[in-house]
Chains A and B, each alone.
Chain A
Amino acid sequence: AQSVTQLGSHVSVSEGALVLLRCNYSSSVPPYLFWHVQYPNQGLQLLLKYTSAATLVKGINGFEAEFKKSETSFHLTKPSAHMSDAVEYFCALAGTASKLTFGTGTRLQVTL
């Protein structure tokens, strides 16, 4: 079975501070991992994806994530938070099946 765990349903950072959203996975096969962002009342948009080509993946809007097999993690980071980053983020895994398994989401709050 495959699963995704996102630590922290809510994360709060100050504008300009580092953003760190945590994602751990469980998979019996080498996984493909994704981060999606969800704007209010909209569907999910792909932020970035890991497909085994490189462990450090760069996405849109300055976000990046690093695949660490030893830690079964795929944490999302951004050096400097902006107010427009205050939305919900979902980590997802494609493993043994032709479908994505999503985490429960992390809502990012950015304060002045």
Chain B
Amino acid sequence: GAGVSQTPSNKVTEKGKYVELRCDPISGHTALYWYRQSLGQGPEFLIYFQGTGAADDSGLPNDRFFAVRPEGSVSTLKIQRTERGDSAVYLCASSRDRPENTGELFFGEGSRLTVL
């Protein structure tokens, strides 16, 4: 597609449930990022993939969060045993190159997760 696609756009779940959020990056972009944006805050880094491997997962808050990118394209963010504090907009971005190499990040519209 022309841009970064994220599904679902909205997800409402109950506390303790398992959730998967999907990101389809721009074709040819090797770098893929997940960010989390809570209400009234800026995006917070979660994880960065270069190709299939997680180059930096230092932003994942705990072991309930996990992300994969098995074929170097589509990525899935997985959240186990969801908590109310996980409620946020999860943003995915892709880039042809790294930010420090002035690679521009292209963001999807986000997946809004609400944990009841």
Contact = CB atoms under 8 A, between A and B. Distances in A.
A51 B109 CA distance: 26
Contact of A97 (B35, B56, B107, B110): B56
A99 B48 contact: yes
B109 A95 contact: no
B100 interface: yes
Place the interface of chain A in its size category.
20 to 34
Interface string A86-104: 0000101011011111111
Contacts of A92: 42
Interface in A55-93: 90, 92
A41 interface: yes
B45 A100 contact: yes
Interface in B77-93: 91, 93
B45 A101 contact: yes
Contacts of B116: none
B104 A98 contact: no
Interface in A12-63: 32, 34, 41-46, 49, 51
B100 A102 contact: no
* Most-contacted residue by chain B among A43, A92, A98, A104 (CB, 10 A): A43
B43 A44 contact: yes
A98 B93 CA distance: 13
B107 A43 contact: yes
A51 B66 CA distance: 32
Given A41-B109, A43-B4, A44-B107, A102 B44 contact: yes
B102 interface: yes
Interface of A: 4, 6, 9, 32, 34, 41-46, 49, 51, 90, 92, 94-95, 97-105
